[in-house]
Amino acid sequence: MLKKQRAQLVLDRLNELYPETPVPLNHSNHFELLVAVLLSAQCTDERVNQVTPALFLLANNAASMQHVNVEEIYNIVRPCGLAPQKSKAISNLSKILVDKYNGEVPEDMAALETLPGVGHKTASVVMSQGFGHPAFPVDTHIHRLAQRWGLTKGNNVTQTERDLKKLFPKESWNSLHLQIIFYGREFCSARGCDGRVCDICTSCYPNRKNPFKANKA
């Protein structure tokens, strides 16, 4: 099966399984989404959703958050891991948003990436899920699945993102990124599938004999 054929198979199966792609991080505005995505680094969405109600009750916009003591933020976000860095980033980015962007989250990838604690993946999620711009955020799980399915041989998430953007139509990027995440959690987790178990893996590579080892991101 050619790579383009595998890509079409993946797209068709995921569209069948997940016709709706709700954003997994609970939020009510762009600032809340930005903070939630920042907190989700090396943390589950479920855990983030448990933590953010208390945080956003305290402050759910940059103008309010800039006045919250970093230690108070830390005490709330501590269950998410990397709490010292994340709490400082939330405080500092809030001040920057107020000073440079009138308290609003900028609708610009480059501007987002300059904010403390906001890397390319976080900025891509905000641009796609918050503002609706085509983006393809790739984390280590998407990177691993894309390799299992023969869609990339990239050694890092940057190369995998480039490869996936070439394979799939731009209008599918925002939903597909979420569909892959949903599928990975349900059927193709790191422990649940080694490239020879789930439907997509076995459809893409029906003759695969040995466990697949992905290049680490």
Please write the tens of the pLDDT for every residue from 99-157.
999 999 999 999 999 999 999 999 999 999 999 999 999 998 899 999 999 999 988 99
Which residue carries 């976080």 as its tokens?
Answer: 122
pLDDT at 154: 87
Give the HSE-up count for residue 18: Cα atoms under 13 Å, Cβ half-sphere. Answer: 21
pLDDT at 147: 95
Catalytic residue (one of 12, 99, 139, 166):
139
pLDDT tens-digit series, residues 161-210: 999 999 999 999 999 999 999 999 999 998 899 999 999 999 999 999 99
pLDDT at 214: 80
Burial of 135 from C-beta contacts in 10 A (0-12 / 13-18 / 19+) = buried
Q: Give yes or no: 139 in active site.
A: yes
Catalytic residue (one of 12, 121, 166, 209):
121
Query: At residue 88, what is the residue type?
Result: K
Domains and CATH numbers, the chain: 3-20+136-204 (1.10.1670.10), 30-130 (1.10.340.30)
In whole angstroms, give the CA distance from residue 142 to residue 131: 21
DSSP state of 107: S
Per-residue exposure over 58-97, b if at least 16 CB sit within 10 Å of its own CB, e if not = ebbbbeebbebeeeebbebbeebebbeebbebbbebbebb
Note whether 128 and 54 are within 8 A (CB): no
In whole angstroms, give the CA distance from residue 94 to residue 170: 31
Burial of 211 from C-beta contacts in 10 A (0-12 / 13-18 / 19+) = exposed
Q: Give yes or no: 86 in active site.
A: no
pLDDT at 150: 96
Q: Alpha helix locations (H) across 114-210?
A: 120-125, 140-148, 157-167, 173-186, 199-204
pLDDT tens-digit series, residues 55-73: 999 999 999 999 999 999 9
Q: Is the pLDDT of residue 89 over 90?
A: yes
Note whether 39 and 187 are within 8 A (CB): no
